[in-house]
Structure 1
Amino acid sequence: MGSAGAGLLGASVVSSGCGLPPNRQSETNVVVVIVDSLRKDHVGAYGNPWIETPNLDSLARESLRFTDAYPESLPTICARRAIHTGFRTWPFRDWHAPKGDDVWRYGWQPIPVGQATLAEILKGQGYQTMFVTDTLHQFKPSYNFHRGFDVFEFIRGQTRDAYRPHWTLDREKMRRTMAKVRGAMRQYSANTAGRRSEEDWFAPQVFTRSSDLLGAATQPFFMVVDCYDPHEPWDPPQKYVDLYDDDYDGGEPYTPSEGPSDYLTQRQLKRMRALYSAEVTMADRWLGRFLEKMEDLNLFENTLIIILSDHGHALGEHNIVGKPVQALWPELTDIVFLLRHPEGKGAGKTNDYYASTHDVAPTILGMLGIQPPEPMDGQDLSVILDRGKPESRDHFSLGYHNFVWARDEAYVYFSRNDGTKAKLYDVRVDPKMRNNRAADRPEVAKRMFEDYVLKDAGGPLPRYRTPPAFR
């Protein structure tokens, strides 16, 4: 595995002795950690009793923990566009699918040129800006995720990244892989064939390199640490797998064949869940190393930390594995969202506001006393720390390709974006969403689609013709 980046840390962006820029009221550093595909129900701080996430749990005790957080849109690129800009990606109007990409999902496109990124705004305020990620979709310059960063380091080799030739793949690993998904593992197997120690896995690389940059950074700084794990494939070192499973001698379900889970036996499904859980624990361990570095540098006392995930991953709970667009149950939609204030405000408390990915940028700017160039779609959640209230959200809506989702305190609804294929769950009595009530409560489903989804979207939702390559 390797990395590609730009810029070296050196002299301060703002010369020493200069006063604060006129629009900045704080010398607070900012760290945003994005953990891809991390399910809320697989973190101890969110109630999981058996998966080991001691570092997330410890940080949660020092943070305001949002219990009802959701991405404003899925999947990877859509969620990150919102995080980096403060603007909603959904409802995917005027979408133009990028040419030559292997993902076709509504809203999956570069950050628009006219939208300022958080890094650009903070760089203009004298912040040193740094970005470390192994999330391969952000590597293309045309996607604009590097904009505003003095340093951006892209760690190569995840999933389908064409990093190494196929003929260098690890043949023993391919032999151990479940036959149904061997094709999906070929590129990844080649990319990771040279591993020799745990430090060569991706989460360790991301957090180690981020720790190195911390030691060289000039304050104030803004850092985004974007870790693609626990996104599939799930092949952590064996010591992590042994925490959750043993005595397995079948083909390894390192990655799912997205859709119905009926191709898996119960034993194979148990193994898949163990591999995912093991990957979560590995990512948590190396997050802990990063947090230890922050502590060694005495950064906790003057650094705002936000940790969140972009979405979850289905592991057979509704007879589905992967991230199909129609599978908008909690295992896919419910995300981790922690906000740690350097002065300890909100520490150990919870909040049920419908926090989301597009709230990250306005929250950071609000905390720092910086006005954005134009009003953002998201809310400043930092006001909650001082017993204030962001703009009321009595419901929340989101989009994933041609499906939509909405919830309020009583119901969760999702359907195609024209209202067909509707599902409705009364989460007051059915929090795991097992009993679809759309047929016997059609008036509720209609209300949620019309009053929540369509009103939030500003009218009927767009539909795009699927190209032949993706049919």
Structure 2
Amino acid sequence: MTRAVMVMFDTLNRRFLPPYGAEGIHAPNFTRLAERTVRFANCYAGSMPCMPARREIHTGRYNFLHRSWGPLEPFDDSTPQLLSESGVYTHLVTDHQHYWEDGGATYHNRYDTYELFRGQEGDPWKGHVRDPEMPPKVSRRAGKTVRQDRINRSYYPTEDLYPQTRTVSAGLEFIRTNAAEDSWFLQIECFDPHEPFVSYPRHRRWYREDGVDTGAEFDWPDYARVAEEPAAIEQARDEYRALLTMCDTSLGRVLDAFDELNLWEDTLLIVCTDHGLLLGERGWWGKNVQPWYDENIHTPLFVWDPRTARTGESVDHLVQTVDFGPTLLEYFGIERPSDMQGIPMGPTLAATAPARETGLFGSFGGHVSITDGRYVYMRACATDANEPLFEHTLMPTHMATRFAPEELRDAELVAPFSFTKGVPVLRAPARAGANPADFGTLLFDLLTDPDQRTPLVDDRLERKMATLLVEQLRAADAPSSQYERLGLPETGEVGEAHLLAARQAPRAREAAAALPTRERVARDAPGLLAPLGDLPAEAFDDPVVARRAPMLADPAFRRDHADASVYDLALTHPMITADALEAVGDVVRRTPARA
């Protein structure tokens, strides 16, 4: 028999897993998993974040160079569909709500059957006209998604009703129903431990006394700089740990089924994630705003292949998310489409040769990064404008909305790419969600600096890594606009003129500095905590403001953010660094207050 199971957890940070060296985490089933599988020490995600990663699993191609978050395109190969067309039954169980939003609605339909479990995060699930009661909380998050999340939580007061539990139960039902059948692939995909970090007392007890928090809730950090006190930071991490422990319990249920039904004999098992999460490290919460540091992009991966039956081993081979789809096709003996860039991991497990020499990763309009397993090169844009940038798509939707008409007014149909099967695509001007210029180009040596604290300035090494990056851009048939945005050659060799690390090093150093605490700002520059609308407009006419925080010099921006303070804006806008905040504080302090 030939069967396969993929268990995918969203936002699984490898640094919180015991098999990867974490301490103080109750996750016995991840330890048990590592004893039965091969643990990959050098797995990297590729296209970020959630749905771009899933598009990689389907297509075996990087996609962040051509478009942002969106559905499968009409020209995309889909691994589950290819399996199905070759006689392998495919089934998806998931509580990942992005599948039924505008930007994910073409993925689950590629499986033969699927079960979707509602209620995670702000999933528009249960309808309440009256606003729910909101508990005191540390996070500044507000709005429609937070309101809906609070409503959703009221429908799973006990663990058996929780979406993760129901998802895994459905997966186990499929396994038991089809245990005697051949040729099937099951994907058990859990949204957890993605935020909000909802768990139950029996999981929290490992980290918080009695498993109950009596103070302000902090299970959903803002995607922002850290401004909380150490106790609050640890509270949020404990909430993540508790949810991870709940995920470990679910993983144990799957492993129990493998033991009971002896699926180890003939069933491939892949346990993976899409990305990690910053939990206060580097002075940040979350992802997307900052470069894709190790905590977010260097992911856990466990694989059991019954053909090689390797257990309890760790391998250093470099692999990526784009390799998952090709791995499944190879396992079932199905030929890979020529457009797939991913490399099957099966032959890698059967031999000692590495599958790939480099791994490409990034998000649309952000840093474009590459690693060879030792060095990581994060290439920022060549200028602060971060342009040109275009969406290339035939499915103009964002995460939860369609493209607005104004986004399409200047769109045009352009020639096919090598992987669009002769189909032209729509090219539309785009804007990135974050500007990599705020952090600069970064180069790290993971052997001597595994926590990526000391960026290197080494022209010879940068040229080598930039050359590897250009090779991958060309292999991916990246649009010409990406080369121009990044300041890299579309043809020819990388030269001294293309290097950015030394030129952008001052920006990188400034971006790495932590903001002062709110208490210090209240003492030294209280005007930075006042709403923008209450501050004298003359302060923002000062050339220092225009130079150090140009967004504050824009009257329209100040009108749109009149209720926010400069400090609050600095938490979410990396352009306003600690040095810039101090400079703006000096200007505000010396500007006469309004009469």
Whether TM-score is above 0.5 comes out as: yes
User: TM-score, with normalisation over the residues of structure 1?
Assistant: 0.83
Once residues 445 and 249 of structure 1 are traced to their aligned partners in structure 2, the CA distance between those partners, rounded to angstroms, is 51
Distance 1:417 1:304, change over 3 A: farther
How far, CA to CA, are the matches of 1:233 and 1:72 in structure 2? 24
Task: Report what 1:354 is aligned to.
Answer: 318
Aligned partners of 2:130 and 2:87: how far apart in 1? 45
Give the structure, 1 or 2, with the largest relative contact order (CA under 8 Å, sep 6 or more). 1
Q: Which residue among 152, 164, 169 is the counterpart of 1:203?
A: 164
For residue 270 of structure 1, the aligned residue among 234, 246, 249 is: 234
Equivalent residue number for residue 115 of structure 1: 76
Q: 1:89: Cα distance to partner?
A: 1.6
The 10-residue stretch of structure 1 (37-46 or 141-150) with the greater mean CA deviation from structure 2: 141-150
Equivalent-residue separation in structure 2 for 1:416 and 1:143 (angstroms): 31
1:224-235 superposed matches below 5 A: 224-235=187-198
Q: Which of 214, 217, 224 in structure 2 is aligned with 1:259?
A: 224
Question: How many Å apart are 1:203 and its aligned residue?
Answer: 1.7
| 1:15 aligned partner | none
Name the CA distance, whole Å, in 2 between partners of 1:417 and 1:338: 35
AA paired with 1:196? P
Aligned to 1:341: 305
User: Could you tell me which residue of structure 1 aligns to residue 86 of structure 2?
Assistant: 125
Q: Is the CA contact 2:223–2:289 (under 8 Å) kept in the aligned structure 1?
A: no
Structural mapping, 1:94-243, within 5 Å: 95=67, 106=68, 108-140=69-101, 143-167=105-129, 171=133, 174-178=134-138, 180-183=140-143, 184-217=145-178, 218-243=181-206
Residue 48 of structure 2 is aligned to residue 74 of structure 1: yes
Tell me, in whole angstroms, the C-alpha distance in 2 between the residues paired with 1:375 and 1:389. Answer: 23
- Residue 376 of structure 1: CA displacement? 1.8
Map of 1:328 onto structure 2: 292
| Partner amino acid, structure 2, of 1:216 | T
After superposition, the Cα gap between the structure-2 partners of 1:179 and 1:67, relative to the gap in structure 1 and judged at 3 Å, is closer
User: What does 1:390-405 align with in structure 2 at a 5 Å threshold?
Assistant: 391-393=355-357, 395-401=358-364, 402-405=366-369
Tell me the distance in 2 between the aligned counterparts of 1:392 and 1:403.
Answer: 21
1:424 shift after superposition: 2.1
**Residue pair 2:369, 2:376 contacting (<8 A) in 1 also:** yes
Q: Are 2:471 and 1:455 aligned? A: yes
Asked if 2 retains the 8 angstrom alpha-carbon contact of 1:380 and 1:390, the reply is: no
Measured in 2, the distance between the counterparts of 1:388 and 1:376 equals 23
Greater percentage in helix: 2
In 2, the alpha carbon distance for the partners of 1:282 and 1:169 equals 29
- For residue 283 of structure 1, what is the amino acid of its counterpart? C
- 1:219 CA drift (Å): 2.7
* Matches of 1:344 and 1:176, distance apart in 2: 53
CA distance change for structure 1 residues 435 and 245 in 2, over 3 Å: closer, same or farther?
farther
TM-score, with length taken from structure 2: 0.67
Structure 2: how far apart are the matches of 1:128 and 1:384? 26
- Of all paired residues, the percent bearing the same amino acid is 27
How much does 1:388 deviate?
5.3
1:58 aligns with 32
* Cα deviation, residue 369, structure 1: 2.0
Q: How has the CA–CA distance of structure 1 residues 169 and 234 changed in structure 2, closer, same or farther, with 3 Å as cutoff?
A: farther
Q: Any idea what SS the aligned residue of 2:281 has?
A: coil
Gaps of 5+ in 2: 384-436, 486-556, 561-571, 574-595
Assess if the C-alpha contact under 8 Å between 2:11 and 2:194 holds in 1: yes
Q: Secondary structure at the match of 1:181?
A: coil
Shift of 1:166: 4.7
Residue identity matched to 2:11: S
> How far did residue 356 of structure 1 move?
0.7
Which whole-Å CA distance do the structure 1 matches of 2:70 and 2:34 have between them? 33
CA distance in 1, matches of 2:343, 2:139: 47
Equivalent position amino acid for 1:87 in 2: R
C-alpha deviation, 1:145, in angstroms: 0.9
Contact 1:236 1:282 in 2 (8 A): yes
> Separation in 2 of the partners of 1:352 and 1:90?
26
Amino acid at match of 2:138: M
For 1:426 and 1:342, locate their aligned partners in 2 and report how far apart those are by CA, in whole Å. Answer: 35
Q: 2-side partners of 1:76 and 1:152: how far apart?
A: 19
Deviates more, 1:219-228 or 1:109-118: 109-118
The equivalent residue for 1:433 is 452
Mapped contact 2:308–2:349 kept (Cα < 8 A): no
C-alpha displacement at 1:242, in angstroms? 2.1
Q: CA deviation at 1:423?
A: 1.9
- Whether the 8 Å CA contact 1:131–1:151 is kept in 2: the answer is yes
Question: C-alpha deviations, 1:355-391, integer Å up to 9, x for none?
Answer: 1111011112222222124352101110122215355
Task: State the distance in 1 between where 2:101 and 2:155 align.
Answer: 24
User: 1:88 deviation in Å?
Assistant: 1.9
Any unmatched runs of 5+ in structure 1? 1-26, 96-105
CA distance in 2, matches of 1:151, 1:233: 28
Mapped to 1, the partners of 2:44 and 2:130 lie a distance apart of: 40
User: Per the alignment, do residues 461 and 352 of structure 1 end up closer, same or farther by CA in structure 2, a change over 3 Å counting?
Assistant: farther
Deviation at 1:353, TM superposition (A): 1.6
CA distance in 2, matches of 1:166, 1:322: 29
Between the aligned partners of 1:372 and 1:406, the Cα distance in structure 2 is 24
* 1:294 positional shift: 3.3
- Secondary structure of the 1:250 match is coil
Residue equivalent to 1:306: 270
Indicate if the aligned counterparts of 1:35 and 1:227 stay in contact, CA closer than 8 A. yes
